Amino acid sequence: MNRTITSFGGLFACLVFLLVAGCERTDSGSSSSSPQPSGGATPTTATTGEATTQPSASTGGGAPGRKLVVGYSQIGAESAWRTANSESIKAEAAKRGHDLRFADAQQKQENQVKALRSFVSQKVDVIMFSPVIETGWKQVMTDIKRANIPVVLADRRVDAPEDMYVTFVGSDFIEEGRRAGQWLAEKTGGKAVIAELQGTVGSAPANDRKKGFAEVIAKYPEMKIIKSQSGDFTRAGGKEVMQAFLKSPEGSQINALYAHNDDMALGAIQSIKEAGKQPGKDILIVSIDGVRGAFEAMVAGELNCTVECNPLLGPTLFDAVEKVAAGQPVPKRITPEEGVFDQSKAAAALPTRKY
């Protein structure tokens, strides 16, 4: 009799356990609709790729709403843009309750490769990364693909076959370069002696922004770049390289500066002042990003124009990550909407800037 009671109790306990476990599965599965974006970049879906469905993550598929483990390799903290970008990604992961494994590569590709390999060992659900330079990723991306972990590219593209990643969320850097060139061409009536501060050598934004700008100024025979060098996307780099430009034998001819990001332009402004010239007047300055410091410099009359590159990619990235983890289709390319701001718009826009 005693044995009968014990077996019945055991059976009852098993039934209760199965019911609870079943309910838990139903709960996580039931919130299957993707959370709404909460500000940040307003994405437009680029037409340059088919919507693709990626196999579910190796740790068991998933659905929007499920807690995900996401490995993210960030480039570093070279600019105000990058800081805003990291904050946006961390805040969005926290808001949605995902476990974000954030690795700062301190500008080194080798650190990024190590981080990516470690995410594979950790069997994360999705890997995101912002590649510091375009080339040199094929081997590690092949290994990630073999491990069946989906990849979401954030901010910068890579020179690798398209089937190695599911989607790329980031700006159109060529278009940004074109917008900067167009603004300068209009402002100067197609006549300018230009110094160019390039971004990190080999990076997608440096390559593309150079290309887009060159494409536009090629239509204006009296617009010439007489100096061009990398300032590595940093304020210190921009200051140092601009100082060298101004001290060079051709330095006195420079009447326009194109900087691939705002931080370098802000550094260059210091050098221009130290050389006894007025930034924004003696030398017209156009740069890219649209960080708050650039708006302040425009209000002060020291920077003339900034072409927006939106770093607030967190909400769009995590929309994509959740869909990818759930095996749902996502567009191959997702591009944020961005504007161009010159001094005439700066004062009105400054209070509304989010980064």
Question: Tokens 């700062």 identify what position?
Answer: 104
- Residue 75 or 223: the one with the smaller Cβ distance to ligand AHR is 75
Tally Cβ neighbours within 10 Å of residue 214.
15
Residue 291 CB, nearest approach to ligand AHR (Å):
8
- Residue 213 or 233: the one with the smaller Cβ distance to ligand AHR is 233
Task: Measure Cα distances from 189 to 55, 181, 213, 217, 256 in Å.
Answer: 53, 12, 16, 11, 13
- Residue 261 or 328: the one with the smaller Cβ distance to ligand AHR is 261
- Residue 71 or 199: the one with the smaller Cβ distance to ligand AHR is 199
Rounded CA-CA distance 163/151 in Å is: 10
Rounded CA-CA distance 49/51 in Å is: 7
Residue 209 CB, nearest approach to ligand AHR (Å):
8
Rounded CA-CA distance 275/23 in Å is: 71
Task: Measure Cα distances from 115 to 74, 121, 154, 202 in Å.
Answer: 10, 10, 15, 20
Residue 232 CB, nearest approach to ligand AHR (Å):
9
Residue 312 CB, nearest approach to ligand AHR (Å):
12
Are 86 and 77 a contacting pair, CB within 8 Å? yes
Residue 123 CB, nearest approach to ligand AHR (Å):
29
Polymer length of the chain:
355
Residue 191 CB, nearest approach to ligand AHR (Å):
27
Residue 288 CB, nearest approach to ligand AHR (Å):
6
- Residue 54 or 310: the one with the smaller Cβ distance to ligand AHR is 310
Binding residues vs ligand AHR (CB under 6 A): 78-79, 81-82, 155-156, 205, 233, 261, 263, 288-289, 309
- Residue 85 or 328: the one with the smaller Cβ distance to ligand AHR is 85
- Residue 66 or 157: the one with the smaller Cβ distance to ligand AHR is 157
Residue 96 CB, nearest approach to ligand AHR (Å):
24
Q: Is 283 helix (H, G, I), strand (E, B) or coil?
A: strand
List the beta strands (DSSP E) in the chain: 43-45, 51-52, 69-74, 99-104, 126-129, 151-154, 167-169, 192-198, 223-230, 256-259, 284-289, 305-308, 330-331, 333-336, 340-342
- Residue 57 or 288: the one with the smaller Cβ distance to ligand AHR is 288
Rounded CA-CA distance 149/18 in Å is: 30
Question: Tokens 């708006």 identify what position?
Answer: 295
